[in-house]
Structure 1
Amino acid sequence: MHRLKELDVLRGLASLNVVLYHYTSRYREIFQHQYPIKYDWYYGHVGLELFFMISGFVIFMTLQKVNSVKEFAYKRSMRLYPAYWICICITLVIASIWDVARTQDLTFFQILMNFTMIQGVFEIPNIDGAYWSLIPELFFYTLMGLFYYLGVLKNIRIIAFVWVSWMLLNRQGILPFGEYFLNLKYGMFLLSGIFFYKIKYNKGNYIDHLIVISCLFTAILVNQMPGNIYAYTFIFSLFYLFIYGKLKVFNLSPLLFLGYISYPLYLLHQNIGYSLIKSFKVYIPNDFVVILLTLSIMFFLAWIVKKYLEKPIITYLNSKFLLQFKSHQAPEASPVMQN
Structure 2
Amino acid sequence: MTSALTTTPATGRRSRLRGLDGLRFLAAAVVVGYHYTGIDTGYWDQPPSTVFPTLNNVTRYGFLGVELFFVISGFVILMTAWGRSLPGFVASRVARLYPAYWVAVLVTVGLQVVWTGGRQLGWFDDLTNLTMAQEGFGIASVQGAFWTLWVELKFYLLAALLLLVGFTPRRIVAFAVLWPLVGEVFRLAQWSFLEDLFIVEYAPYFGVGMLLFLIHREGGTALRWAAMVVTGLLCVEQTVRHAPIGTRVVGVEISPVVCAVVVVAMIASVWLVADGPLRHVDWRWLSVVGALTYPLYLVHGQFGFAVIDTLHGHLSPYAVLAVAVALALTLAVALHYLVERRWHDRLRDGVLRLLRG
Q: Normalising to structure 1: TM-score of the pair? A: 0.87
Q: Does 1:243 align with 2:274?
A: yes
The alpha-carbon distance between structure 1 residues 75 and 319, as it changes in their structure 2 partners (threshold 3 A), is: closer
Question: What is the CA-CA distance between 1:315 and the residue it aligns to?
Answer: 3.0
Aligned to 1:134: 149
Aligned to 1:37: 53
Partner deviation per Cα, 1:247-288 (whole Å, 9 max, x = no partner): 35865566443311110110111111111112121420x211
Alignment counterpart, residue 4 of structure 1, candidates 10, 17, 22:
17
Alignment counterpart, residue 195 of structure 2, candidates 170, 176, 179:
179
The alpha-carbon distance between structure 1 residues 174 and 283, as it changes in their structure 2 partners (threshold 3 A), is: closer
Q: Contact (CA 8 Å) 1:167, 1:222: kept in 2 or not?
A: no
Q: Contact (CA 8 Å) 1:9, 1:250: kept in 2 or not?
A: no
| Larger RCO, structures 1/2 (Cα 8 Å, 6+ apart) | 1
**What is the alpha-carbon distance in structure 2 between the residues aligned to residue 100 and residue 311 of structure 1?**
32
Aligned to 2:184: 168
**Number of residue pairs matched?**
323
Q: Does 1:114 align with 2:129?
A: yes
Q: Normalising to structure 2: TM-score of the pair? A: 0.83
Aligned to 2:78: 60
**What is the alpha-carbon distance in structure 1 between the residues aligned to residue 117 and residue 338 of structure 2?**
24
2:314 partner amino acid: Y
Question: What is the CA-CA distance between 1:222 and the residue it aligns to?
Answer: 2.5
Question: What is the CA-CA distance between 1:324 and the residue it aligns to?
Answer: 9.0
Partner deviation per Cα, 1:96-143 (whole Å, 9 max, x = no partner): 2223512xx211111111111111112211100000011110001011
Runs of 5+ in structure 2 lacking a partner? Answer: 1-13, 244-255
Superposed, 1:1-339 pairs within 5 Å as: 1-27=14-40, 32-33=45-46, 34-40=50-56, 41-67=59-85, 69-102=86-119, 105-151=120-166, 155-173=171-189, 177-223=193-239, 224=241, 225=243, 226=256, 227-247=258-278, 252=283, 255-284=286-315, 286-318=316-348, 320=350
Q: Secondary structure at the match of 2:51?
A: coil
**What is the alpha-carbon distance in structure 2 between the residues aligned to residue 253 and residue 287 of structure 1?**
33
Question: What is the CA-CA distance between 1:190 and the residue it aligns to?
Answer: 0.7
The alpha-carbon distance between structure 1 residues 108 and 28, as it changes in their structure 2 partners (threshold 3 A), is: closer
Q: Contact (CA 8 Å) 1:168, 1:222: kept in 2 or not?
A: no
Question: What is the CA-CA distance between 1:13 and the residue it aligns to?
Answer: 0.3
Question: What is the CA-CA distance between 1:28 and the residue it aligns to?
Answer: 5.2
Q: Contact (CA 8 Å) 2:38, 2:61: kept in 1 or not?
A: no
Runs of 5+ in structure 1 lacking a partner? Answer: 329-339
Partner deviation per Cα, 1:167-191 (whole Å, 9 max, x = no partner): 3323433765511121210011111
Q: Secondary structure at the match of 1:47?
A: helix
Q: Contact (CA 8 Å) 2:43, 2:309: kept in 1 or not?
A: no
2:213 partner amino acid: Y
Task: Give aligned-pair identity as a percent.
Answer: 28
Which stretch of the first structure deviates more once superposed, 11-20 or 154-163? 154-163
Q: Contact (CA 8 Å) 1:15, 1:47: kept in 2 or not?
A: yes
